[in-house]
Amino acid sequence: MHTHWSWDTADSSTMRRACEKAVQLGLPAIAFTEHLDFTVWDPEDRATDEGLVERHASRHAEIDVQGYWAELTEVRERFPELRILSGVETGEPHLFGSSVAAYLRDAPVDRILGSLHSLAEDGRLYGVGHLLWQDEDGTMRRYLGELVDMIESSAVFQVLAHVDFPRRYWPGGTHRFVEKDYEEEYRAVFRALARSGRALEINTSSPLASADQIRWFYEEGGEAVSYGSDAHTPSAVGQKFDLAVDVVEAAGFRPGRDRFDFWRR
């Protein structure tokens, strides 16, 4: 989940409140994976090589590393019954490999998510929601193709986050999105992820992935899934996990080796 150390999350979203919610729900663990996005990048980054110069209309901000770790230490002491993982959600890690590596050298973490929120166009990175309104079908297919590239060209992340991210912003409403239209592209993503041995996040903030979609991952050789509430408020910690478990089990995955493991085939 995210806390106020992420640029898109309110000051009221503290680690302590999130941990209180997790304990209330009986969750064994929680991971604070704050947004690691770049508005200025390293000359060695692929983004530089590709001629990208900025993010369009960006509100992104850096993580206050010192503040983050101080609060994490505090809640680890306060909630010994809860396994509390440090983490980041790396945006477009294949474009910012050098910048991500520099951050992690100074602030190594337990859990790293890889996510794709933006696509390149005319020297800028544009949020997917912005591009969908220009061409929803083309943007979705381009998004899934870029995910394959991201998986194959970046090894830094352990879990692929919200594969359905564009569906959150689908023109006219999420109910208009037809998952089956993109089965071939989804399967290409899942094959690449399976070959890499990494886990697929079941994101319960996005429109929940169907059992069919998770089954495609299973059929393409996927080995593990991870549950992520992607909560930006403490009240959303663990949201829809009961339903997510039903979806995952219907696709063929089962609890892992212990309470803290990924669910596995």
184-200 residue pLDDT tens: 999 999 999 999 999 99
Determine, yes or no, domain membership for 30.
no
Check whether 223 has a pLDDT greater than 90.
Answer: yes
Domain contains 240:
yes
Above pLDDT 90, what percent of the chain?
97
**Per-residue model confidence as pLDDT tens digits over 36-49:** 999 999 999 999 99
* Domain annotation covers residue 12: no
Looking at the predicted structure, is the pLDDT value of residue 111 above 90? yes
Question: pLDDT band for position 206 (50/70/90)?
Answer: confident
What Cα–Cα distance (Å) separates residue 229 from each residue in 119, 139, 182, 238, 242?
24, 25, 24, 5, 12
Give Rg (Cα) of the chain. 18
In a domain, 169, yes or no: yes
Containing domain of residue 47, as a range?
A: 35-58+89-264
The predicted pLDDT at position 108 comes to 97
Is 79 within a domain?
no
Q: How does DSSP assign the chain, residue by residue?
A: ---TTSTTS-TT--HHHHHHHHHHHT-SEEEEEEEE--SS--TTSHHHHTT--EETT-------HHHHHHHHHHHHHH-TTSEEEEEEEEESTTT-HHHHHHHHHHS--SEEEEE--EEEETTEEEEHHHHHTT-HHHHHHHHHHHHHHHHHH--S-SEE--TTGGGGG-TT-GGG--GGGGHHHHHHHHHHHHHHTPEEEEESSSSPPPHHHHHHHHHTT--EEEEE---SSGGGTTTTHHHHHHHHHHHT-B--SSTTSPEE-
Pairwise CA distance, residues 7 & 9, whole Å: 6
Phi–psi pair at 252, nearest 5 degrees: 115, 0
Confidence of residue 209 (pLDDT cuts 50, 70, 90): confident
Which CATH number characterizes residue 178's domain? 3.20.20.140
| 20 domain residue, yes or no | no
Overall domain count for the chain:
1
What was the pLDDT predicted at 258?
Answer: 95
Q: What's the pLDDT at 57?
A: 80
pLDDT, averaged across the chain: 96
**Which pLDDT belongs to residue 58?**
83
82 found inside a domain = no
pLDDT per position as a tens digit, 46-90: 999 999 999 998 899 999 999 999 999 999 999 999 999 999 999
Which pLDDT band, with edges at 50, 70 and 90, does 207 fall under? confident
pLDDT at 18 over 90: yes
The answer, yes or no, to whether residue 1 has pLDDT greater than 90, is: yes
136 part of a folded domain: yes
